[in-house]
Structure 1
Amino acid sequence: MSVTSVTHLNFRGDARAALEFYHSVFGGDLAVVSYGDAGDTRNPTESDQVMWGQVAADSGFRVMAYDVPSQLPWDRGVNSFFVSLRGGTTQEVAAYWEKLSVGATVVQPLEPARWAPLYGMLEDRYGVVWVLDVVSEYNG
């Protein structure tokens, strides 16, 4: 038996744009179901917002997202989570970094670290904090 963990991001009206952005970075398949698509008409002004969405790439990358309805509380919080993206090569990680960094705030530049050939952290234009590094054997 196996289990898969997928990061699920919660937004207030930005889920579709965020999913489209992640799709442009990682490729793969983009699936989006709006509240209107699902017949949820409690708030007609939110019918185009995302009830469920996912990017699933051939590389194994997966992310899910939705727009929290206005009748529910939502607070992005501060440092409530990071999305950790670990790649096998510096070229792979650097390519993702280049795309994710468009419109982002760099927290830690992508550069060699004591524990990894490359490590960096950024907050993307949707407020999601990404930690990127190259997988290496720990020799602490």
Structure 2
Amino acid sequence: MSITLNPYLNFDGNTKEAVYFYEKALGGKLMGLMTFGDMPADPNHPLPDQMKDRVMHAHLKVGDADLMFSDTFPGMPYQPGNTVQIAIHPTEEARARAIFAALEDGGQVVMPLQKTDWSPLYGIVKDKFGVTFQVNVPGELPQ
């Protein structure tokens, strides 16, 4: 069984600026940056124009550590200083479900576990202490 953890930073439309700032400040290497507009279109859930340039996911390597970033959707709660989440990457779906269920106990599901374009199983849960976790089984990113 394998699992990794990393900080996941959320911003309100200025993720690109933050990623390049941290890349320079921390001597990191940008591994990838994908906007919401880069994802395949879904006619059942059309993407508002203001979302297309926002960052869906960015990955910065700093030494052996990984920092990940994303912009919020307009209207989602955002409070500067309360923007760090913990991303958990179990390799097995059963382990992901167990972790999610344990964190959900006394907490709140933000996004139920589900298949996404980048993961066979992904969800977001805020635990009973107010800490938000993204549970993500690694998958292939769309080309």
Q: What is the TM-score when the length of structure 2 is the normalising length? A: 0.48
The higher radius of gyration belongs to 1
Flag the structure with more relative contact order, 1 or 2, with Cα contacts below 8 A and sequence separation at least 6: 2
